[in-house]
Structure formats: C-alpha cells, structure tokens
Structure 1
Amino acid sequence: MTTLDLRSRVVAPRQVPLAVMVAAMSALALVCAVGLLSDDRTVLGVSVWLEPLKFAVSFALYGATSAWLLTLPHRGSRWTRAMATVFAVTGILDVGFIAVQAARGTFSHFNTSDDAVNTIGQYVFMTGVPGLFVANLVIALILLFQRVGDRPLTRASLMAVLALAYAGLLAVLTWQAFRGQPLIHPDALTLAALGGLLAATALAVRAVRSRAEAGQQAGPP
C-alpha cells in the first residue's frame, strides 16, 4: 500500500464551518417561517420572508449533505476543507443580506437603490456568488477524481457529480437573470443550456458507475 493510499484512507476532520452554517440557516428558516405567519408586508405581491426562507432551507440542506460527504475518506481533504469554509462563510454573508433586506421590507437581488446598506449588500452579492460557485466547483472536482472502488468513495463521486450539476444550474440561472429573463419563462437558449446540463450530468453519473464496476471487478491491488 502506497503513502497516497494511506492518506486517502484518513477520515477528513469534522466540517465545523459547514455545521455552523447549517445551524445558522436552520435558525433563520424558523425566523422566516414565523415572519410568513405574522408579518403581512409584501414585495411584488409576495411575502418579504419567502425569499430568505427558500435560501435558508436550500443552504441548510446542501450544507448538511456537504458536511457529511466531506467526512468520507478522500484525497485533497485540506483543499476541500478550505473550500467548504469559503462556501460556509460566503453563504452566511449572502443569505444574511437577503434576510436583512427582508426585515427592511425590500428585495435584495438587482436592487439599484443607493442607500448604504443596499450598496454594501450588492457588493457582497457580486463577490459572493462567484465565491460560492468556485468553492463548490473545486470541491466537486476533487471528489469526482477519486478512486471509486470503495462504496463510500463511489457515493462521494456521485455526490460530486450532483454538486457540479448544482454549480452548473447556478451558473445558468445567473446567466438567465443577467439577461433580464423571468425565471419561470426561459427562452429556447436557456432551455438548451439546461438540457445540456441534464445530459452531461446523466453521462457523468454513468461514467462514475462504470468506473466503480470496473474497480470492483479488478479487485484490490
């Protein structure tokens, strides 16, 4: 057994930043749920608390899944731990700003108001969204290129594919938003991009499964 094999079997340390993010998002989700029931303010006909609630739930679920995934033995754990910290800190800042804007009774995305809070928040968005994307992409790529003969690493690689798909979806939706296109009314170009992403994800899942089957047939070195 090589040194690299030994290192790959070391269990990654607990993902404390992600755990903190999950706890913060869970608490925020509860606050937003209460806000939905007790606060009748709306923005564009929708409760001001609906958007932060959706983001809080999404980040809590994704963070919990990622925290579990990164405890599996894998190469490059220092990098994944660092990127997980970037993702957690950036996620807290971004979703925190969305919650602040909700509490102020206004919207967060594409808000052109020149007040100080909004100006700072828009800067957070401009720097935070690329940070989330890059951190997620690096983690996914590291996990994707692992030896997948072992069942836990096979699951890790499959989760990495899903993480890449999530990053791709985020990129497509951001591109759609920058073109001023409603989320629920995508044009043919956006639909083509989403279709390509779906096809690429399916092919990647198949490739991981094929590698795992080949590794199991080959047996241990």
Structure 2
Amino acid sequence: MTKSWHRPSLWVAVAMAVLTLIPLAGLVFDDRVLNGEPLWLKPFKFGLSLTIYAATLSWMLSLPHKGKRWTSGLATFITVILFADVALVGIQAARGTFSHFNSVKGDPVNQVVQFMFGTSIPLMFLANIVLAIFLSVQKLGDRPTTWAIRSGLYLAILGMASGYLMVFQGKSKRSVVTDATGHDIKLHGGHAVGVPDGGPGMPVTTWSTTGGDLRIPHFFGMHGLQVLILLGLGLAALGLAERTRLRLVVVAALGYAGVFGALTWQALRGEPLVHPGPTTLASLLAVLAAVVLGVAWAFRKTGTAAPAPVRQPVPQR
C-alpha cells in the first residue's frame, strides 16, 4: 500500500514527475537543437529516469527492515540530490546551453551548476553505496525478493560508476561546440567514444550509431534495480517454488551483470550498439548460453524427502 511507502522519496518522485512535464512541453513547443538533438530531450530523459529510481527507493524502504531511521535519511538525501540534478539540467536547457562537461568560466550560473554537479553527484553515489551495504545484511521479505533487491542495488551502483567514464575522457575528449544560443562552449569530457558527441543517433535515446556510447551501460546498469525487482515480483505472481525463484533471480542478476560488462566493453572500444562486432557478439552469446544453463539449473529437481510413514490405528478389543 502506498501509505507505507517512504514518504520523502515518494514526494520527491511526484515532484520530479511534475517537473518532467516542463521539458515534455519544451519538446512540443521549442524546436531548438543542442549538439544534434532536441534541446529539451536530455532533461526529459533525466527526469523520467530519476523519477522511476526515486519511486523504486520509496517502495523498497516500505519493506520491513531494521534501522529505518538510517535508511530513511539516506533515501531522502539521495532523492533530494536527484531532484536538484533534474532541476539543474532543466535550468541549463532553458538557458540553451550544456549541463554537463561545460567548462565556461565567465558564466556565473554555469559555474554554480558545475560546482553543484561536482559535489552532489559523488555524495549521492557514496550514499547509494552505504544504503546498498546496509540493506545487504538484512532480510527484505522472502529470499528471492531480498536477493533481487540486493543484486539490483549493486547493479545500479555499477551503472552510476560507469558514468565517471564519461568524465575520465576529459583530457582526451575536449571540443568546442555551439550551444542553442549561438555561443561557443568548451566541453571537457563526453559520452561518445571514437566519434564526436552529437553525431547520428538512435531514435529517442540518441545513442550513437557510428561509435561507442557510454550512456548505454550507464542507463542499463542504473535500471537493473527495477528489472530485478519486477522479475522477483513477477516470479512470485506465477506461484513458482521459492527455491526456483531464488535461483532464477540469481541467474538473472549474473546474466544482467554479464550484459552490462559486454556493453561497457563495447562502448569503450568505440563500437556502436547497433553494429556489434564479432567480439561483442561472442561475449553476448556466451552470457546467453550461461543464462540458459542457469535457467535449466533453476528448474532442476533436487529430490524430495521420502514421505513419512502413515501410522495405522491400533484396533480396539
């Protein structure tokens, strides 16, 4: 029931959902373009993604566990930062300029935005790690649900960590681009590998179709939490035995981590998602084969104990 959900993160999720209506309207009424994509597309994607993440934390903390004061404080801290980040991305879009990797120093607003990103994101990342560790030593419902949440949290942390790969390109990936207002902006870092940011991309996501794109593993990893939780709930709805559900959750988590690793490796090699090479295909097929074997193992019968002998009634004389 929503009444038992973690209230602060739920309200932040609602606020971000409302805030996401602004870039949605911008996509409809503002046809400006920023580095090859609609100006308001990035704040819309950020708002939608982080709204889902905040709502997931709210539901997760509704499960019985110890130390709710600590987990509540961590979740509130995390989601407030998420809300601030969505707002900052929206502010920069309204100004027609870049929110990330923007090194312009003559603009006081941009300086504040970059300082906020530089301080809040690492703190939010650390808070997620602490929350994951705290919940890893607790039971959150039955074993399949507990392991779905644990593995999902660590997959999300891997996804967040992969975002730093974009920052680490700072020295090797410096470029001067024009923002939506016609000003030249120096960018330090970026998401594309092997090609400039803003080139040909996939519909909606705008992930590069000509080179590697670090946004792919970043997105895939971060939302592993939702995928694993939904899987656990879906398996429970099917009425499968607890042991089978637990095994399937573990197999899914390991398979998800394998795909995340393959996507990260593919992006770092400058290879587009839609044109995988033999090495990438081989790695993905290996993960698929391991998952198929894992599913077969999950449904394997482990034997049942012999039924207890039925005691016959002693005839009365």
Match of 1:198 in 2: 257
Contact 1:136 1:164 in 2 (8 A): no
Distance (whole Å) between structure 2 residues aligned to residue 156 and residue 140 of structure 1: 12
Match of 2:162 in 1: 172
Distance (whole Å) between structure 2 residues aligned to residue 156 and residue 107 of structure 1: 40
Distance (whole Å) between structure 1 residues aligned to residue 127 and residue 50 of structure 2: 14
The letter of the residue matching 2:192 is P
Distance (whole Å) between structure 1 residues aligned to residue 159 and residue 117 of structure 2: 17
The 1:197–1:135 alpha-carbon spacing in structure 2 relative to 1, beyond 3 Å, is farther
Q: Which consecutive residues of structure 1, in runs of 5 or more, have no partner in the other structure? A: 1-11, 211-221
Q: Which consecutive residues of structure 2, in runs of 5 or more, have no partner in the other structure? A: 174-190, 194-207, 222-253, 261-286, 288-293, 299-317
Contact 2:139 2:146 in 1 (8 A): no
Match of 1:15 in 2: 6
CA RMSD of aligned residues (A): 3.1
Match of 2:110 in 1: 118
The letter of the residue matching 2:34 is V
The letter of the residue matching 1:96 is A
SS of the aligned residue for 1:67 comes to: helix
| Paired residue total | 188
Q: TM-score, normalised by structure 1?
A: 0.74
Deviation of 1:107 (Å) = 1.1
Match of 2:196 in 1: none
Cα deviation digits, residues 75-129 of structure 1 (max 9, x gap): 2222211111110111111111100001111110011122111000001000111
Percent identity over the alignment is 34
Among candidates 138, 145, 154, match of residue 146 of structure 1: 138
Alignment of 1:37-56 (within 5 A): 37-56=28-47
Q: TM-score, normalised by structure 2?
A: 0.53
The 1:164–1:63 alpha-carbon spacing in structure 2 relative to 1, beyond 3 Å, is same
The 1:176–1:116 alpha-carbon spacing in structure 2 relative to 1, beyond 3 Å, is closer
Distance (whole Å) between structure 1 residues aligned to residue 27 and residue 131 of structure 2: 35
Contact 2:43 2:86 in 1 (8 A): yes
Distance (whole Å) between structure 2 residues aligned to residue 145 and residue 107 of structure 1: 41
More helix by percentage: 1
Distance (whole Å) between structure 2 residues aligned to residue 92 and residue 132 of structure 1: 11
Distance (whole Å) between structure 2 residues aligned to residue 157 and residue 91 of structure 1: 25
Deviation of 1:163 (Å) = 1.7
Cα deviation digits, residues 126-174 of structure 1 (max 9, x gap): 01111221121111222222136x42x6424422321221111111222
Deviation of 1:176 (Å) = 3.5
Distance (whole Å) between structure 2 residues aligned to residue 157 and residue 78 of structure 1: 22
Contact 2:14 2:51 in 1 (8 A): yes
Among candidates 83, 89, 107, match of residue 98 of structure 2: 107
SS of the aligned residue for 2:139 comes to: coil
Deviation of 1:40 (Å) = 0.9
Cα deviation digits, residues 166-188 of structure 1 (max 9, x gap): 1111112222442245165449x
Which structure ranks higher in relative contact order (CA pairs < 8 Å, sequence separation ≥ 6)? 1
Match of 1:86 in 2: 77
Match of 1:9 in 2: none
Contact 1:139 1:160 in 2 (8 A): no
Contact 1:145 1:157 in 2 (8 A): no
